[in-house]
Amino acid sequence: MKYEAKKYLKLIIGLLLCALGIVAMLNSNLGLSPWDALNQGLNKIIGISLGEANLLVGAIIVLFSLLLKQPIGSGTIINFLLVGVFIDIYIYLDIVPKGDFFYKRLIILIIGIL
């Protein structure tokens, strides 16, 4: 059981860092990954938060996986449930800087990608 707890702790830390990177790329205003661009499009068109869009897309993917009888692991479920929440928390807390000139935005983008 100790191994399982350690595995899920690493997963959650990774998801926190992933969400932080997404918000950094968003705040750089220089581009997003394709999935995050989809989520941002839903955010703009439907009026839901970026995290809610992430959750919606994840739920649809999981639903299609179930319909196609594909195995879904616990990490997949935890990922789609938490990343969107973490994104919205980071945006709400406004802890990721926004760039006011190109080179600062570029640095924020590179940090987000890493």
Confidence of residue 87 (pLDDT cuts 50, 70, 90): very high
What pLDDT is attached to residue 62? 94
Residue type at position 51: G
- 3-state DSSP assignment of residue 44: helix
What pLDDT is attached to residue 65? 94
Which of these, 25, 42, 19, lies nearest to 89 by C-alpha position?
Answer: 19
How many residues can be counted in the chain?
A: 114
- Mean predicted confidence (pLDDT) in 84-107: 87
Angle ∠(93,102,39) on CA atoms, nearest 5: 50
Q: What is the pTM of this model?
A: 0.86
**Could you tell me the two tokens for 62?**
């999981």
Calculate the alpha carbon distances from 89 to 26, 49, 65 in Å.
14, 11, 28
Confidence of residue 104 (pLDDT cuts 50, 70, 90): confident
